[in-house]
Structure 1
């Protein structure tokens, strides 16, 4: 396989689906404590629930639980080696915690990208990652240096494809001009609770558009270039699907009631309504489910087959906005 010139499907990386399991909740804790059998059992239950509903792509990052999320998942692979042939592994790098060398920071230097990827491979106990994402844009990143790191990892067979996370169109375009293979994914926060990705376009040239985030053209660029959009925190920590949260605003509480009403109407879970709203967008978004609870993972199953009507999609959008469109 010529990985250097092979472009994945413009909508989905081969072998993946509309739902991804985010593995941030696996492992010990954010202090990097020891991984126990209890942690491994929790991860195994989440993995099996995900596979039951057809999930094949598992999303990691080197920083999740200080590396113990990857370590924990790696133990599952060690105990069931055949599993690696049935799934896709994605990880991210570029965020560094404060240490003796410096403060909490971003680092997309070539040396750090290579070292981080190799460390993820060791923790996971695998020979290659299917996808490696740059976790956050680094103000000091240099496209040519990143390109050389990507080439080194690809040539060594350690990473198949590369992508980004939390980057806008201009940053991707700037990075891509130095690369000899296409970026395949961009992971962004998108949900009923995080609507600027929609509002920036739908309220263009209107006083309502007060967002300073440079969304304009990002979704369109990704679709045009075959860059798979992935949504992190698509369930918005359960605010619209049953979680009791003191942080929920009156608008969010009203939207949660609407979600529950639609769940009854469509005879599916509230989680599936929330995700189906996101998946209804023509950009072909993948949703990264961040829960490790098997029941909540299974509750997302119907999202991939449920087709919300245009009117219901707008009911949810307008309710979550809390104000009428211009």
Structure 2
């Protein structure tokens, strides 16, 4: 695969991938990854479940991207429900694999356990996780001059999530999330990626408020292609972010003569909405677009094509 360096003024493009949960899903996953890598993204983030059940698979995906592609992999790291020792071990594991860029997330507490409490010796927030990442990296540098030199050439980069309309799970408002992002910046993060949103003001209003509060790090716009009404409803269940009722009704109404969903028409209408959203936030000054792919390359690529950001190579 030929390596192409994007023009420095081009908005960034990046994708989120979820490691395949079953061996039989791996071929389709890697075909999706190949299609996305061919667009020369600035990075691909690889999710890591809050329970840690896909730890080995996530590490394998990140290692393969590191070794076999020109794309920067960003390893998700969650801490909810895990002890400090366990999280440190996971960090060591990723650092051993050569990972230098992380997305530090608290993760979601189990929703089916109303009496659940985090462990007393756990890492209880993304801010604590950011500090632990830097502590583990510093420990490794102190133990080995060679490691310290290599780290000097590849500094640790840490991103965090931010919630432009507030975090439904945490019960926070936009103003509280702005203050939280400022705390994350002070803890040493490099940039933030927003949770998905459906209206341009969600992003522009949040960034304006964050800048007024003193946030200076880049805030990357996270967007989901709105092509599948079932997925949008599932995402609402998981995140609390409500899709536009009018868009859902329109997508639901696109039917074939036999009454089944017209998936091609839904795809076209959903991409139209997503392109308008992405273009609006790019026009407002967003540094780039981070696409939540759900391991589907076609909607992601059509979205980027719609805003003129797709460049592929064989």
Which bin holds the TM-score, normalised by the shorter protein?
Answer: 0.5 to 0.7
User: What does 1:24-39 align with in structure 2 at a 5 Å threshold?
Assistant: 24=18, 26-28=19-21, 35-36=22-23, 38-39=24-25
**TM-score (normalised: structure 1):** 0.56
Per-residue deviation, 1:245: 6.6
Q: 1:243/1:72 Cα in 2 relative to 1: closer, same or farther (>3 Å)?
A: farther
Distance 1:254 1:219, change over 3 A: farther
CA-CA distance at 1:163 after TM superposition: 2.5
**Partner of residue 132, structure 1:** 102
Q: 2:308 aligns with which of 305, 308, 314?
A: 305
Secondary structure class of the residue paired with 1:55: coil
* Distance of aligned partners of 1:106 and 1:228 in 2 relative to their CA distance in 1, 3 Å threshold: farther
Residue equivalent to 1:88 = 72
Aligned to 2:178: 169
Output aligned runs, 1:21-100, within 5 Å.
21-24=15-18, 26-28=19-21, 35-36=22-23, 38-63=24-49, 66-67=54-55, 69-74=57-62, 76-77=64-65, 81-83=67-69, 86-96=70-80
| Per-residue Cα deviation, 1:12-41 (whole angstroms, up to 9, x for no partner) | 9x89952211012x311xxxxxx52x3331
Alignment of 1:228 with 2:218, yes or no, is yes
Indicate the RMSD between aligned Cα atoms, in angstroms. Answer: 4.4
Q: Structure 2 CA distance, aligned partners of 1:160 and 1:186?
A: 15
1:251 aligns with 2:246: yes
Structure 2: stretches of 5+ with no match in the other structure? 1-5, 108-121, 142-146, 164-176, 234-242, 254-264, 310-314
> TM-score of the superposition, structure 2-length normalised?
0.58
Is the aligned partner of 1:117 residue 2:91?
Answer: yes
Deviating beyond 6 angstroms after TM superposition, the runs of 4 or more aligned structure 1 residues are 142-145, 254-257
2: CA distance, partners of 1:166 / 1:45: 30
Q: Deviations over 1:211-251 (max 9, x none)?
A: xxxx88336557x52x222344x12xx4x435467946642
SS in 2 for 1:187: strand
Cα distance in 2 for residues equivalent to 1:164 and 1:246: 23
The structure-2 alpha-carbon separation of the partners of 1:73 and 1:291, relative to structure 1 and needing over 3 Å to count, comes to same
